[in-house]
Structure 1
Amino acid sequence: MLRNRLGVLLLTALAPAIWGTTYLVTTELLPPDRPLLAAVLRALPAGLLLLALTRRLPTGQWWWRAAVLGALNIGVFLALLFVAAYRLPGGVAATAGAVQPLIAAGLSAAVLGERFTVRTVLAGVAGVAGVGLLVLRADARLDAVGVAAALGGAAVMATGVVLSKRWTAPAPLLAVTGWQLVAGGLLLLPAALAAEGPPPAGLTAGNLLGYGYLSIVGAALAYALWFRGIRALSPTAVTFLGLLSPLVATALGRLVLGQRLTWAQTAGALTVLASLVVAQVRPRRAAAESAVPTEAKTPEPQRS
């Protein structure tokens, strides 16, 4: 059981690690000042590809559920993320977004009945502090709309993760992932056209490579791993893994772009890793309960 959970954690962690490469791909391969176009081309083609592969459409209530989850996990989240990115330095946006595990823990307690522990709060606060040390700069300026967008994005994504756990679709994982990517992409499409106009003419081979990477690897693969993790793990455990994104982005900046790490960034990276480990360690009682087969558990009496 322990090995199985560790394997799921490692596979799920690949998703935010992949998302951590987005900054490098965007700055090095994509045309400038087209963030919403990048979001659309990241989500919509990937969703259509998964729909073509699975040949499975939603049925019944899953039409509106897929639309809601697609908006929360992808469409609205990415829109708010780009608003925050435009109005705030990257460090401020990333630090504000790091509150997502705490929001997910609170929602999980309210919606799913999970325990909201002091250990989770301490790990969440340490995660925010670690990301702040990792990416925040002393001269960072604050903008009320940008901060609100960053916090709103964290709340939207946390809500999407919790609802994804509560609403388990009977369809295959890749099909459900495709539904959400298409819904999120369609939601972003009119916003991208209104704000940025049509796609630029004469895209280079590097541009196409970047968009292809973000769509196939950054969306189709990463979101499939992410949603698989949500099915198997608690929403709190999954959202803590999201702290890997700024960690990977910083590491790539050091390795690929030659950016130097300060002592504060090193301390922040170690703090983020410590919070991740602490958040994933389950109390013995919870681990023992999860190891008991479902049929062996005493059913609760039916209430009239």
Structure 2
Amino acid sequence: MKTNLSDLSLTAIAPIVWGSTYLVTTQFLPGFSPMTVAMLRALPAGLLLLVIMRQLPAGIWWLRAFVLGALNISIFLTMLFVAAYRLPGGVAGTVLSAQPLIVVFLAAVLLSGRLRPLTVLAALIGMGGVALLVLTPNASLDAIGIAAGLAGATSMALGSILARKWQPPVSPLTFTAWQLTSGGLLLLPVVLFVDRAIPVPTVSNLLGLVWLGLIGAAVTYALWFRGIGRLAPSVVSSLLFLSPLTAVLLGWVFLGQTLSILQITGIALVVGSIWLSQRAND
């Protein structure tokens, strides 16, 4: 399957923007719990897109919208935050970077695709690059945290494969609206039960939520699901390595964090893995 450069570039915008989540959350939303941020990121953006697109699911797509919303939004974010709470950031990031590798095997089973050794190698190289980027020598392990990270990676990997397999009969924006709304609605009772009260947002909080919701959810998920429909699953999933890469680079630029030789090597491996994955599918 020949990879179109414009499709690849547009799809890559999504994980690059997602890489800003840590910076925006810590700098603009310090008083909010991660689960509240996840719900506020998904639900308002989804409802806004529904109002704009004016198209609800029909028939079997009601069920599929909630299944995909749960896999790509609710379950993924819940497991992500469980992993983030129980693991050091580097360990959590490395565990979650297994998603492209999981996609490779799920695509072979669910989409009857051919398992390409070069694609598997590219995913392993990318995981190694992420490990060099974010893993610290004194990182500790936690069985529940690792299990949650793998569950989150598997959830979004399965959601991506099913989105490709089902091929929605609507535009990427409408498809995004369905998933963000259903995923946000599934998160709402969890937030109300766990957090009970949402802080009154300041101007700074609102700016952070606008970025995470409108840009980091509505726009980026639309580009992501567009890419899922046009590119090979392994190529799309390999772009997820750009998220931790972006987070590290933003920390270097805006937070004064340093880049070690190992991290620079990790950057080279991440870029190389994306190139290799694209070559494997040409």
The question of a shared fold, defined as TM-score above 0.5 by the shorter chain, is answered with: yes
In the TM superposition, what is the alpha-carbon distance from 1:96 to its structure 2 partner? 0.4
In the TM superposition, what is the alpha-carbon distance from 1:31 to its structure 2 partner? 2.8
Q: For the residues of structure 2 that align with 1:33 and 1:266, how far apart are their CA atoms?
A: 32
Three-state SS of the structure 2 residue aligned to 1:141 is coil
Partner deviation per Cα, 1:190-226 (whole Å, 9 max, x = no partner)? 111211222013x211011101110000000000000
Look up the match of 1:276.
274
Look up the match of 1:121.
120
Letter in 2 for 1:211: L
Q: Does structure 1 residue 172 correspond to structure 2 residue 166?
A: no
Three-state SS of the structure 1 residue aligned to 2:50 is helix
Q: For the residues of structure 2 that align with 1:94 and 1:243, how far apart are their CA atoms?
A: 10
Q: Does structure 1 residue 249 correspond to structure 2 residue 247?
A: yes
Letter in 1 for 2:209: Y
Q: Which moved more, 1:23-32 or 1:217-226?
A: 23-32
Look up the match of 1:213.
211
Letter in 2 for 1:154: A
Q: For the residues of structure 1 that align with 2:161 and 2:272, how far apart are their CA atoms?
A: 24
In the TM superposition, what is the alpha-carbon distance from 1:172 to its structure 2 partner? 2.0
Q: For the residues of structure 2 that align with 1:266 and 1:32, how far apart are their CA atoms?
A: 33
Look up the match of 1:298.
none
- Shift >6 Å, 4+ stretches: none
Three-state SS of the structure 2 residue aligned to 1:120 is helix
Correspondences of 1:1-304 after superposition (within 5 Å): 5-32=4-31, 34-201=33-200, 203-282=201-280, 287=282
Q: For the residues of structure 1 that align with 2:237 and 2:70, how far apart are their CA atoms?
A: 17
Greater gyration radius: 1
In the TM superposition, what is the alpha-carbon distance from 1:33 to its structure 2 partner? 5.1
Q: For the residues of structure 2 that align with 1:12 and 1:49, how far apart are their CA atoms?
A: 22
Q: For the residues of structure 1 that align with 2:42 and 2:240, how far apart are their CA atoms?
A: 18
Q: For the residues of structure 1 that align with 2:49 and 2:280, how far apart are their CA atoms?
A: 34
In the TM superposition, what is the alpha-carbon distance from 1:282 to its structure 2 partner? 3.8
Q: TM-score, normalised by structure 2?
A: 0.98
The alignment-based identity, stated in percent, is: 52
Three-state SS of the structure 2 residue aligned to 1:171 is coil
Look up the match of 1:290.
none
Partner deviation per Cα, 1:119-155 (whole Å, 9 max, x = no partner)? 0111111111110000000111111111001011000
Letter in 2 for 1:110: V
Q: TM-score, normalised by structure 1?
A: 0.91
- Give the direction of change, closer, same or farther, for the CA distance of 1:33–1:54 in structure 2 (3 Å limit): closer
Three-state SS of the structure 2 residue aligned to 1:275 is helix
In the TM superposition, what is the alpha-carbon distance from 1:32 to its structure 2 partner? 3.3
Q: How many residues of Structure 1 are paired with residues of Structure 2 in the alignment? A: 282
Three-state SS of the structure 1 residue aligned to 2:4 is helix
Partner deviation per Cα, 1:48-74 (whole Å, 9 max, x = no partner)? 011000100000000000000011011
Contact persistence 2:119–2:280 (CA under 8 A):
no
Look up the match of 1:294.
none
In the TM superposition, what is the alpha-carbon distance from 1:6 to its structure 2 partner? 0.4
Three-state SS of the structure 1 residue aligned to 2:114 is coil
Letter in 2 for 1:86: Y
Q: For the residues of structure 2 that align with 1:112 and 1:166, how far apart are their CA atoms?
A: 7
Letter in 1 for 2:89: G
